[in-house]
Structure 1
Amino acid sequence: MNKLRILGTTAFVIAASIVITSCKDKRSTGWEYAPNMYEHKAYEYDQPNNNFKDGKTAQVPPAGTIPLGFKRFDYPNTREGYDKASLEVKSILAQTPQHLAEGKALFITFCSPCHGVTGQGDGLVVQHGYPPPPSYSKGQSSRGGAMKDLTDGKIYHTITYGVNAMGSYASQVAPEERWKIVMYVHHLQNL
């Protein structure tokens, strides 16, 4: 009988301690397992950081690296790079009606303020007194040759780096979007 009383008392004490400890704090998550996995211990970009020689958390990316999701364009912003791109760079996208429609939408957003909706160099900016860019179907390129003869590489290079009064659109237009614009510019060259 004594063994039964000890066993009952032990079970009662265990049950009572579970009830008392579980009712203590409703907001408690209980025991923490591997707290370093969910407590933020990372440095903020503007905080000092002793892990680096210069003491800064924000570091310049290593030379030769490219951002995630971008493709390397190994043609420098020079006349030689432009000419080399003309010979070597070809569109990576298939010519589909969907790509052409997306290229048109991108062209209207980014290019038509200067080049005009039809690529004739009569955009809104020109109407406010800025010099007009050449027409894609009738004009002459400032780098020589007719605008209607521009190749994929020349157009892509120009969108990436800009030329004359046109600035670079590399930060506004992703590489795949540039190819869609190139496709639409070829359409405008034939108008």
Structure 2
Amino acid sequence: MLAMNKIKILGTTAFVIAASIVITSCKDRRSTGWQYAPNMYEHIAYEYDQANPNFKDGKTAQVPPAGTIPIGFKRFDYPNNNAGYQLASTEVTNPLAANAQNLADGKALFTTFCSPCHGVNGQGDGTVVQHGYPAPPSYSKGQSSRGGAMKDLTDGKIYHTITYGVNAMGSYASQVAPEERWKIVMYVHQLQQQ
């Protein structure tokens, strides 16, 4: 008799649980059920393109204050003109140690970013030239469009050119970090001697 009561109690409990699940799940068809960690998809923060009452202009995306520098950014305070180019030539030198690792890194970076135009050996015979684009001057034999032989380019001139670009060459400042630019400068000096 005790076993019969246990079976009735368990059966009744299971029926009540099942009925309550069915009734509560059919109550509102638009309901998604319980929310676990709703702040994962209902953001508290404003999106960059949303209106924001916390600022005078009502915009979330704000221009950084004047004179601020992003973390890890290194300033290059030489203007993008011939005067800045000449000044960089006399004042700027490569801060990296000339060692095998930096030179190998410079070669890899040059191969990736520079060789499509300048060629693997810096002779101005890259793949873009084969597609009809004008050839850049050879590092060992060519003449710079800014005057002087390419083989005489200084650290500052090469770094300035990578940073700002010249003629058909665009700026590589957004693709190549400052330390990487110095490694490329080191490798270009090696190509100038060929």
TM-score interval, normalised by the smaller of the two chains: 0.7 to 0.9
Of 105, 109, 130 in structure 1, the residue corresponding to residue 108 of structure 2 is 105
Count of residue correspondences: 155
Superposed counterparts of 1:88-127, under 5 Å: 88-127=91-130
CA distance in 2 between counterparts of 1:136 and 1:65 reads 37
Letter in 2 for 1:117: V
Deviations 1:131-182 (A, max 9, x none): 1000000000000000000000000000000000000000000000000000
How well do the aligned residues superpose, as a CA RMSD in angstroms? 1.5
Aligned residue in 1 for 2:175: 172
Aligned residue in 2 for 1:142: 145
**What is the SS of the residue equivalent to 2:158?**
helix
Letter in 2 for 1:121: G
Tell whether 2:93 aligns with 1:83.
no
Could you list the structure 1 runs, at least 4 aligned residues long, displaced by more than 3 angstroms after superposition.
none
**What is the SS of the residue equivalent to 1:179?**
helix
Superposed counterparts of 1:15-164, under 5 Å: 41-164=44-167
Letter in 1 for 2:65: P
Note the C-alpha offset of 1:89: 0.5
**What is the SS of the residue equivalent to 1:102?**
helix
Letter in 2 for 1:103: G
Letter in 2 for 1:77: N
Note the C-alpha offset of 1:40: 5.7
CA distance in 2 between counterparts of 1:64 and 1:117 reads 40
**What is the SS of the residue equivalent to 1:180?**
helix
**What is the SS of the residue equivalent to 1:57?**
coil
Note the C-alpha offset of 1:65: 2.1
Note the C-alpha offset of 1:51: 1.3
CA distance in 2 between counterparts of 1:145 and 1:103 reads 24
Letter in 2 for 1:73: F
Note the C-alpha offset of 1:70: 1.1
CA distance in 2 between counterparts of 1:116 and 1:130 reads 13
Note the C-alpha offset of 1:117: 0.2
Of 176, 183, 188 in structure 1, the residue corresponding to residue 186 of structure 2 is 183
CA distance in 1 between counterparts of 2:62 and 2:187 reads 39
Identity rate, percent: 83
Letter in 2 for 1:111: C
Note the C-alpha offset of 1:64: 2.3
CA distance in 1 between counterparts of 2:69 and 2:170 reads 21
**What is the SS of the residue equivalent to 1:111?**
helix
